[in-house]
Structure 1
């Protein structure tokens, strides 16, 4: 009689390259083939976290629980090389057969010469060199959080308040009026008044967002549909 070897998957999430797509892919793979999986969320020791990072952390923890991860662990690391070392150690300790992670790399890495990236900087090569039998899956994705760069300012805590029975009569406020008001982050659009931008929040374990115009939800049909979808 031969025993079936457990196929265990590590899903690696990183604050700088965060995407729920990585977690969803790992969970989907585990469910399809009957694998077990755990989630590692890597945070930089030196980072000054914005509230959106905390929102990402909350989303990934909630999703991990809902999707059946055996563990959700937050690890603080110095740099990408430290991330790779932690992944290798965890994979060895837990007999992982597969690692799923983001394929995105910081622009600072791309400034280094190719040979230096290959032998010193590239975390993927480090993982493969130390775990030659591992299955390494890299997920390509767009930048997850566009709100803190370019045309939007850093997020700050705010509340979406419903003030009447009108279906889209929602207003942005610094404080809630009632316990049912929606808590989230407001990203102000640059070069506009302080109440125009994007409001991001978690609903049913997912990050949703709606557009805010002069302190309230727009009254167009498109805005109404977006709000309805976000609040589902």
Structure 2
């Protein structure tokens, strides 16, 4: 299913996106050395509930997981990259943490993710990974405009990741979003320009470039959810929900300047 939002629904999407951005930035600020991932999940639950919103994750039970997920935010550390299930782990200096959050408010969902290094350490390889996903995300957003095709976005993202020297996995990528978290069209993190669904004003997309340092192969934890690099290398993941407008792409999950 591909949804095209009307102006009223788009206004609601902006509210949802702002909430997702606020919660993620708050969780990032609180995720310091000594923080337990289960506390991060509890903080997310409290903020989502207080806002009168609903988590898109708690009851999420797709075919590829061992569902339902049962938590409010994905917390992936170091070699984990997607669907990181919060567990009893205390963050250490230099850990690379990815927070991925999807929330529904007023019947419209928004999805965003960010990666950052915990503490004062900044390992160069982690900084490079994060930077590559952020640049790829910016390139994908720039390619998203009315009349363009999904393949144009995929090509823009993949070009940045490939130029940075990272292998690209195409099992998981971006997606349409609206009244539900995951919809068509699928937005792979590499692809051929000029192919795929033609973008229209009112379409919401969650773009999410992610990479692993030296492999494109994933392995699944015993929890049935957390996906890690097959080699144990570090990973990073950046994501925004955007709306296609008459002028181009509007980022709905952009943090408000402090």
TM-score (normalizing by structure 1) = 0.26
Q: Which has the larger radius of gyration?
A: 1
Q: Which has the higher strand share?
A: 1
TM-score (normalizing by structure 2) = 0.24
Q: Which has the higher helix share?
A: 1
Between 1 and 2, higher relative CO (CA 8 Å, sep ≥ 6) is seen in: 2
